[in-house]
Structures are given as structure tokens and as C-alpha cells.
């Protein structure tokens, strides 16, 4: 499991602004990648109420699944817990809502 601290900024770009960024960094189709994010919470919104974002990211490039829990801090930064999981664990989480036994689950249980 990887643990990272990050400060993140997001911006909404117009189509023209987006194209400027693409051109500035010379981003061609072969340099782009597709990923799909799946977000999860409990029925009573336990994660949201505790300032936690919980997701699994599927990367098309190599068909990997990365489970992430982002714990938002009062200073605006986030502690990010990342762990790769198997396709089988992803399907069980998606279909049944059962998190695989792993370091991320252990850390979340301590909160």
C-alpha cells in the first residue's frame, strides 16, 4: 500500500482552454490514456460524512485496478491510501459492496 500526501487543484476549462493545454504539452493521442473511476460509499454516507473519498480506478492501458481512499485534512490537503487489487476483488466490491482484506481496509477500520 502506498500512502501519499497531496494538495490538489481542479479547474473547469473551456474547449479552447483545453486545446491550449493539449497544444502546449504536445499531447497526442498516443500520449493520452483512458481510465474509469468507480466511487463507493455506505448507504448512510459514512465516507462522505467523514471527509473520505473511496474509489477504484480502472486503467485501460494495462487493465489494472487501483483502490484509493482519500482522507481530506483540515488544511485542504489529502492523505491518499492506494493499493492495487485484483479483478476478482473489484467485481466483488462492485457487485456486493465487500471490500477486499488489505491494508487500505485495515487503515479505514482504524478511523
* Integer CA distances (angstroms), 56 to 4, 31, 68, 81, in order: 16, 22, 6, 11
Q: Is the pLDDT of residue 61 over 90?
A: no
Tell me the average pLDDT of the chain. Answer: 90
Q: Is the pLDDT of residue 3 over 90?
A: no
* pLDDT at site 101: 94
Instruction: Find all residues with CB under 8 Å of 37, minimum gap 6, and list them.
Output: 55, 56, 57, 58
Tens of pLDDT along 67-85?
A: 999 999 988 899 999 999 9
Tens of pLDDT along 7-38?
A: 877 889 999 999 999 999 988 877 777 789 99
Report the share of the chain in percent with pLDDT over 70. 100
Q: Is the pLDDT of residue 63 over 90?
A: no
DSSP 110: T
Q: Is 2 helix (H, G, I), strand (E, B) or coil?
A: strand
* pLDDT at site 4: 86
Amino acid at each position: 500500500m502506498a500512502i501519499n500526501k497531496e494538495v490538489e487543484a481542479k479547474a473547469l476549462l473551456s474547449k479552447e482552454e483545453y486545446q491550449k493545454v493539449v497544444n502546449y504539452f504536445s499531447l497526442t493521442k498516443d500520449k493520452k490514456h483512458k481510465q474509469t473511476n468507480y466511487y463507493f460509499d455506505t448507504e448512510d454516507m459514512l465516507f462522505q460524512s467523514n471527509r473520505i473519498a473511496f474509489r477504484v480506478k480502472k486503467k485501460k492501458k494495462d487493465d489494472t485496478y487501483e483502490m484509493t481512499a482519500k482522507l481530506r485534512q483540515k488544511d485542504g490537503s489529502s492523505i491518499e491510501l492506494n493499493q492495487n487489487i485484483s479483478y476478482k476483488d473489484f467485481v466483488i466490491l462492485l457487485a456486493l459492496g465487500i471490500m477486499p482484506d488489505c491494508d487500505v481496509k485495515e487503515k479505514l477500520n482504524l478511523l
